[in-house]
Amino acid sequence: LIKNYSTAPKSLSVLRVGEKDYPTDDYTNVTPKIISYLNRNLHLKKDNPLSLVRQRIVNYFYKSFTNRGNPSFSVYDNLPPVVTTKQNFDDLLIPEDHPSRTKSDCYYVNRSVLLRAHMTAHQTELLRSGLDNFLMIGDVYRRDEIDSTHFPVFHQVDAVRSQLREQLFENHPDLNIFEPIYDPNNPNAFTNSISDPAKQSCHTLEASKMMETQLKNHLIGLVKVLFGESIQYRWVEAYFPFTHPSWELEIYYENNWMEVLGCGIVRNEIMVNAGSNNSIAYAFGLGLERLAMALYKIPDIRLMWSTDSGFLSQFQNKDVDAKITYKPVSVYPQCKNDLSFWLPPTLTVETFMNNDFYDLVRDIGGDVIEQVTLKDKFVHPKTKKHSLCYSIVYRHLERTLTQAEVNKIHKEIEIAATNAFNVVIR
């Protein structure tokens, strides 16, 4: 991945990330392994638990906010993860010396470009483009340990909801978003302060409290939709450089309080910098992995990355609201073998009974058969002969199967199918 132009000095080395080449420097610490996660897009893969949770959250938003029956939220789930330090930090008022900026916490491409450490990195550019209500969903990258709840790549859903005075105080036209001493048309003449724990100095208490109530109700509604009415939760005071006041929401899960999201009222400086002078906004960011692990009882965060069909099939073709409880799959490796055959002239790809074949495979292979799927149907254009191809996944629950053992069972299945259905193995 790293191209070294041998005649050029080291600082002119370039690194290919996504579709682009970037110059490297003393900050570069992103590894080829980490770059390989960039195109996985687990949150968009239909069979991944993260995608099911994503869809439930998006549905909740669409239902919560409609404008004459149309969703009034825009969803961005495909924003490129390579961002600038301006997007990830400066635009969000994160100080120059803040620990979250260090090389030991982030994956830097070079001094000014990194893999986003949170989805909030896109907040300012979307506000600036004129949006007021939107979701940002995607993969984020942080240098961290690898254990059952940490992985260097995880997924977040971030949201912004902003309102003008006439929207927030629809029924109270006498109330204002801003204190009289603050002039939204001349915002830089006022130094906004966050020394009052209840609100930013530019906002009225009514506006800040109204937004706080809406934000909290909205998020409690979400965890109730996901986990049921009886879910126990608590609000914890928090600090983020980009919101004030700020909170974290924790839910009680398996005898522990688990933090699921951070949120707050967006700092007015950010709104003003994005050209949104007359509104107040709340924002939050939540972790998809934590919600998915709790919802489906998935014990290890690494399982999200599994391409093992024993894992994925548990989430396949499911209604997004289906109650799914993960069943551990064997830790021993899978062995996959394909089996193709020509049907006799009396049968077609439509009339052949798949289930008959599945029974036969199960009869011969027994418990080492984990999955059988119809992979391909084919009609030869000249001979008009019909052919089917099945993929058989073998896995022993207590030990590693050798390829020789699998081949033996596979051969027995071929012979049995030939005898039972009068087919010709291809």
Q: Which residues bind Mg ion (CB under 5 A)?
A: 262
For residue 303 the two structure tokens come to: 């399982």
**Residue number with CB closer to ligand FA5 (243 or 334):** 243
Site string (102-131) toward ligand FA5, x via CB under 6 A? ----------------x-x-----------
Task: State how far the Cα of 379 lies from the Cα of 364, in Å rounded to an integer.
Answer: 28
Considering the rule CB under 6 A, would residue 262 count as an interface residue with ligand FA5? yes
DSSP-assigned letters across all residues of 379-401: E-TTT--EEEEEEEEE--SSSPP
The interface region with ligand FA5, picked from 71-79, 254-262, 383-391, 413-421 by CB under 6 A, is: 254-262
> Buried b vs exposed e over 152-164: b needs ≥16 C-beta within 10 Å?
bbbbbbbbbbbbe
240 binds, among Mg ion, ligand FA5, none (CB under 5 to 8 A by kind): ligand FA5
Quick one: which of 244, 258, 156, 153 has its CA closest to 202?
Answer: 244
Q: Is 253 in the site for ligand FA5 (CB under 6 A)?
A: no
Amino acid at 12: L
Shortest reach from residue 161's CB to Mg ion, in Å: 20
Q: What's the angle, vertex CA 172, arms to CA 268 and CA 183, rounded to 5?
A: 35
Question: 81 or 262, CB closer to Mg ion?
Answer: 262
Torsion, Cα 304 308 310 314, to 10 degrees, reads 40
Tokens of 140: 């984020």
Are 34 and 114 in contact by the 8 Å Cβ rule? The answer is no
Look-up of token digits 């960039």? 38
Question: CA–CA separation, 281 vs 162, rounded Å?
Answer: 4
Is residue 295 involved in binding ligand FA5 (CB under 6 A)?
no
Binding mask 149-168 for ligand FA5 (x = CB under 6 A): -x---x-x-x----------
* Residue in 137, 283, 295, 335 binding ligand FA5, rule: CB under 6 A: 283
Minimum distance, C-beta of residue 2 to ligand FA5, in the bound complex (Å): 27
At 260, is the secondary structure helix, strand, or coil?
strand
Query: How far is Cα 317 from Cα 337, in angstroms, rounded to an integer?
Result: 23
Q: Which stretch binds ligand FA5 (CB under 6 A): 21-29, 148-156, 195-203, 389-397?
A: 148-156
Helical spans, DSSP H, in 71-164: 85-88, 123-128
Among residues 81, 138, 264, 365, the one that binds ligand FA5 under rule CB under 6 A: 264
**Least distance in Å: CB of 163 to ligand FA5?**
16
290 binds ligand FA5 (CB under 6 A): yes
Q: Which helix (H) or strand (E) holds 278?
A: none
Q: Looking at 82, 261, 335, 392, which residue binds ligand FA5 (CB under 6 A)? A: 261
Q: Say which entry of ligand FA5, Mg ion, none residue 285 contacts (CB below 5 to 8 A, set by partner kind).
A: ligand FA5
Partner interacting with residue 135 (select from Mg ion, ligand FA5, none; CB below 5-8 Å by kind): none
Where does this chain bind ligand FA5 (CB under 6 A)?
118, 120, 142, 144, 150, 154, 156, 158, 240, 243, 259-264, 283-287, 289-290
